[in-house]
Every structure is written in C-alpha cells, then in structure tokens.
Amino acid sequence: MISIALSKGRILDETLPLLKAADVVATTNPDTSRKLIFATSRAGVRMIIVRATDVPTYVQYGAADLGVAGGDVLGEFGSEGLYQPLDLGIARCRLVVAARKGFDYERAVRQGARLRVATKYLQTAREHFAAKGVHVDLIKLYGSMELAPLTGLADVIVDLVSTGNTLKANQLVAVEEIAQISARLIINQAAYKLKRAAIQPLLDALTKAVAK
C-alpha cells in the first residue's frame, strides 16, 4: 500500500487534477468528506489528509510514503530524510517581508535598530535576517500575520503573498522578497528504495502530468 499525504485547501485542490492524470482518483470526494483516509481508483494507493505543516512529518516517519508540501513548509519545518524529486508548480506564491505603507524598511535595516518581526516562519526569518546582519526580535504567530504591524505588535511580517490582495486590504506593502514558493512532491527515502516498483510508475505519471 502506498499512502500520499495531502492537506485540504489549495494543495488538495491543485494536486487532485495532477493525480487524476496519473490515474489516481479518490473513491469519495476528500473535499466534502470528514474522513481522513481515502481509497483511490489505483489499486494499492490511498490518500491521507493532514495539516499542511504536518505533511513532511508524516512522510519523514514513513506514515505516508509520498506527500505534497509547499517550499515554505519544507524550508521551515525541515526536509530531512525526504527525497524531493518533483516541483509540481502548484500553490505558487512568494515569501516576503511586508510592512505598513510608509514604514522606512531600508532605513530601519541601515540604522541597525532591532527589528520586530512577526511570523509563522521563525526559522526561515531568523536565517534571512542573520544573513543580512539585521538584529531581530521574532514573534511567533499562527495566522493573520497582517494584523501585527497594524496593531503595533511588530514592525514587519514575514508571510506569503500571491495576488497581493491581503496586503493591499490591510495597507501593507512587500518590502523584500525572500523566496519564490511552489509545492513539491516529497517521498520517504526508505520507501523510495523499498517500494520502488510501486512508486516509480506514479512518479513518472506525475512528472508527465506536470510537464503538460
């Protein structure tokens, strides 16, 4: 049995068509069901539904053989023991530093004062600012990051941007890009060796679907 870990929302929505092209279709619609394990049309392949940030954990421990995770999640929560053979080109966005309109980010960075940074991506933010030699106080948040500069909790945020609508609606602007993000297929390294006969055809079919 091969298990594929996916998260509800955009990853599931954008991965299902690719899986369909690889002849993997859930027998019950995972979008509308409260179930967490789904049999598929492909014998010996099932889907499991986990939180986006938990996908690497399931695959690292071999509780799932394959998974789909954003580059942001892999960068922040680790990718040890994972094989990353395929960029799926879905869930595209950018990881940026954003601030209130009018906040002089360049000056704040130049002056060397401690910058207060609110984010869900502590590790990534720490590495980014350390590489620039900027001293930061990091504040961990779990969502609605945009609120932090508006309420005085932080000077800037490190968050994902796609259309830019959320920043705009909150009078924030991106002041620096940290990374271009997309979702990748991840595979448990041991499973890739031990279950190669089952995984390779799936990987080949997904590679073909992505190239279309």
Q: Which residues bind ligand PRP (CB under 6 A)?
A: 143, 159-166
Residue 164 binds which entry of ligand ATP, ligand PRP, none, CB below 5-8 Å type-dependent:
ligand PRP
The answer to whether the CB of 168 falls within 8 A of the CB of 98 is no
Per-residue interface string for the shown chain with ligand ATP, residues 19-58, x marking contact by CB under 6 A: --------------------------------xxx-----
- Shorter beta-carbon distance to ligand ATP: residue 87 or 106: 87
Using CA atoms, how far apart are residues 116 and 148, in angstroms rounded to an integer? 10
Residue 159 binds which entry of ligand ATP, ligand PRP, none, CB below 5-8 Å type-dependent:
ligand PRP
Residue selected from 3, 6, 7, 167 as contacting ligand ATP according to rule CB under 6 A = 7
- Shorter beta-carbon distance to ligand PRP: residue 9 or 89: 9
**Secondary structure (3-state) at 30:** coil
**Secondary structure (3-state) at 15:** helix
Residue 26 binds which entry of ligand ATP, ligand PRP, none, CB below 5-8 Å type-dependent:
none
Distance of CA 202 to the CA centre of its chain: 22
Binding of residue 15 to ligand ATP (CB under 6 A): no
By CB under 6 A, the count of residues binding ligand ATP is 17
What phi and psi, each to the nearest 5 degrees, are found at residue 201?
-60, -35
Smallest gap from Cβ 129 to ligand ATP, in A, equals: 21
Both structure tokens of 167: 């920043």
- Shorter beta-carbon distance to ligand ATP: residue 108 or 158: 158
- Shorter beta-carbon distance to ligand PRP: residue 81 or 164: 164
> Measured at CB, which residue is nearest to ligand ATP?
70
Residue among 97, 87, 95 at smallest CA distance from 182: 87
For residue 57, count CB atoms less than 10 angstroms from its CB and return exposed for 0-12, middle for 13-18, buried for 19 or more: middle
Q: Which stretch binds ligand ATP (CB under 6 A): 85-93, 105-113, 122-130, 193-201?
A: 85-93
In Å, what is the CA distance from 211 to each residue of 83, 113, 200?
Answer: 20, 47, 16
**Residues at the site binding ligand ATP, with contacts judged by CB under 6 A:** 7, 9-11, 51-53, 70, 72-73, 91-93, 160, 162, 181, 183
